[in-house]
Each structure stands twice: as C-alpha cells, then as structure tokens.
Amino acid sequence: MHKFLFSELEDTPTVIDYLEVQSYEMNVYLVYLTVKDRSGMVYDKKGKPMRFFSTGHIREAFAHCSVAKSVMKHDTPYDEMIGNPPKSAEQMALPFSMDLPY
C-alpha cells in the first residue's frame, strides 16, 4: 500500500483514478486514493492518516485535482451496541460528488 502525503498533493494538480471517502463516527473522514498503479491512504506531515472534518473539507482539498470516480463508505463501530445486526463483509459504496460549490 502506498502512502500519499497530503503535503505533496495539496499544490500539485493530480489525476486521481479513484477517491474513496471513509466516514467514521460523526465528523472524521479518511481518504483512500488510487493514482495510476498506486493505491493507499492520504497521510499528514506527521505520518498519520490525514483527518478531514467535513465533506466540504475534502472537496476543497482536492478541488485542483481531476477525480475520475469518487465514493463514500460509512463505518460505525456501534452496530452491535445498539442492537443492529452484525455488519456485512462488504461495505456499500455510495456515489460522492467532488463538485464545488457543494
């Protein structure tokens, strides 16, 4: 898995083949990318997965890039705690628009 450093992406127009927003809890989002033959998470300057705090933050951060396909996957650790059935092995990917203004 490749480590995409946000500092290298933020000012460089990049063609992104696939952008996956991984939604956790209320307002924590991580981003997984595929660029050419490399796939992996976006990391911050400290080498930790880059946290985004809104979908607008993600759209603005990648506005200068050309994104072929973007989706959102939602994960919650609380299903079993609130009586929901166990999660399926496959997460559902919903379309995610990268268009501004949102």
More confidently predicted of 101 and 96:
96
pLDDT attached to residue 79: 58
Q: How far is CA 61 from CA 13, 17, 23, 38, 102, in A?
A: 11, 16, 16, 20, 13
- For 29-33, 61-65, 73-77, which range has the lowest pLDDT when averaged over its residues? 73-77
- Decide if pLDDT at 63 tops 90: yes
Contact (Cβ atoms closer than 8 angstroms) between residue 14 and residue 65: yes
pLDDT at position 101, please? 76
Q: State yes or no: pLDDT of 77 exceeds 80.
A: no
Domain locations along the chain: 1-80
- For 24-36, the pLDDT digits (tens) are 877 899 999 999 9
Res 89 pLDDT > 90:
no
Q: Which helix (H) or strand (E) holds 91?
A: none
